Structure 1
């Protein structure tokens, strides 16, 4: 069984502690934990992961959480304003991200695409995973990049991720190469993507910490934040027969739908959910507290939806202290 941990520690202090036993160049204070980790992974990566997994013991209330009994659970809470890790539980373990993968697809679309461009589907998007969420788009339909972008993030439509991949890179395979290259550039060195939507593949994995790095980059774009903070959306497109279709959808983020209450004092800026049978229930969020401090929180591998929001709520409650 994993040792249970929670921490409140400066990122700089954590890295300095790690570096005391590292070979190679002495530690230099950089602008982020990410840059240190990316630059020193080969020499100090294992020590870093060990440190992140041995920081402190969870409280009695959290120790009873069934998530902490799982071998496939991780969480992470970072005070981005103060540059502090507030809580970390196996944040460097390789786990399945499910549809949180779509954050990277969104990021590359924002960096390389134009939201006003129109896409006419040249083929149906065929997905093999049972129960995979899809839109109503089919071959011959014409839709804007913005409409597909919103549907991918709000409804978590897996076909829309493929549509955007083909739009940006010309093929899904080329887009996946872009995803992995961009992950490395961001310091997400324990990540490997094999598709743009997060449908299960044993070789498609990441870590809670890597997802934080990718998400933090994505929220630099106003279009992304506006989209992931929307509780609903209507996609409008035109069929090959020139019929206009309106597809209404609601967010998969139950905080936005008030299915689960946001803790008092927390301002919800939205995020991305992910669920597959192997990844279980996952969620990444950006929030702020009454002081205006910005936080990023990640939960991966929760056993149920209820367990996911229970664990995430406990993380969010720590942001108001």
Structure 2
């Protein structure tokens, strides 16, 4: 009888111990899944994923993360060796995934592709795009000697800021760039400081500007990969996109041009047909110096997607065959083939 009682007491102790373990486990589980701790877990996940995300722009627009794109990217049938340009990169504008690249992180001279940075910095620092700016004589100093491309404005002309922006991006007018720089920052040098700061903010770590026009300077350089970061960002701005995709723009009358002047896109002037396979080229900015070669930054729509292509270094000049445009047509037409 005594042995049976002891066995019963031992069984009770085991049962109580097991019950206590269950209660403790339940308490620990509850503490882990409380809202406060759940937020900590989410924060740790966010911190980890943030390190893989694209840069955040100065206006807090987060650049898309390519890893979030669930649709397979279309293939590109063209090979790097088929291009005339020694440096090129093609990205999907929606998620910034790279579809094609050729020496994309090699140092290059951006020539007038520089004016994309000039334009977006100017837009972001101009509270009134209809404000008239007087182009002083000093704006034009040295430009003709450097054989800089001009929009056609004259010394002493009062020009709206928006028209100077069109003048910078369409005909690649150097006087438009310097005029905007002087007005916004007081000097081109100080404006270039703003351009370099913007490049840093955007994560363009292999880019440095020395002027607002793209005239050649050994210390004025970029990579085609960095230039896709710039153009992707700038195209989020409605004013920039509208100018970048325009083929022409007519200015209102000014004190020097009673009938105004018409500005034409250097790319669209040389592009016989915007149409490409399953799409069209929407806009672009050309560039050229002896050292940079033929350059082109362009935007195209193929199917339902938009793409950016930056190409630099093709042989030839303004009068030769435009291999930069030939390359763009070939690359865009190869998407999905």
TM-score, normalization by structure 2: 0.72
* Alignment partners' CA distance in 1, 2:169 and 2:91: 23
Higher helix share: 2
Q: How much does 1:175 deviate?
A: 0.2
Assess, with a 3 A threshold, how the Cα gap between structure 1 residues 172 and 130 changes in structure 2: closer, same or farther. Answer: closer
CA RMSD, 1 decimal: 2.5
- Aligned residue number for residue 137 of structure 1: 153
- Aligned residue number for residue 116 of structure 1: 130
Q: How much does 1:245 deviate?
A: 4.5
User: Is the Cα–Cα contact under 8 Å of residues 266 and 319 in structure 1 kept in the other structure?
Assistant: no
Question: CA deviation digits over 1:109-152, x for unaligned, max 9?
Answer: 11110211111223241215543211332332111101111111
Q: 1:302 aligns with which of 314, 324, 329?
A: 314
- Aligned residue number for residue 222 of structure 2: 206
* Alignment partners' CA distance in 2, 1:183 and 1:77: 20
TM-score, normalization by structure 1: 0.75
Residue ranges of structure 2 left out of the alignment (5+ in a row)? 1-47, 57-75
Q: How much does 1:158 deviate?
A: 0.8
Alignment coverage as a number of residue pairs = 265
Which stretches of structure 1, 4 residues or longer, exceed 4 Å deviation after superposition? 26-29, 58-62
* Alignment partners' CA distance in 2, 1:301 and 1:192: 18
Q: 1:191 aligns with which of 179, 202, 207?
A: 207
- Aligned residue number for residue 317 of structure 1: 333
* Alignment partners' CA distance in 1, 2:336 and 2:206: 31
Assess, with a 3 A threshold, how the Cα gap between structure 1 residues 65 and 171 changes in structure 2: closer, same or farther. Answer: closer
Q: Secondary structure at the match of 2:327?
A: helix
User: Is the Cα–Cα contact under 8 Å of residues 231 and 257 in structure 1 kept in the other structure?
Assistant: no
Based on CA coordinates, which of the two structures has the bigger radius of gyration? 2
User: Is the Cα–Cα contact under 8 Å of residues 190 and 210 in structure 1 kept in the other structure?
Assistant: yes
Q: Secondary structure at the match of 1:244?
A: coil
Q: How much does 1:179 deviate?
A: 0.5
* Alignment partners' CA distance in 1, 2:292 and 2:234: 22
Paired residues for 1:182-261 under 5 Å: 182-239=198-255, 244-254=258-268, 258-261=271-274
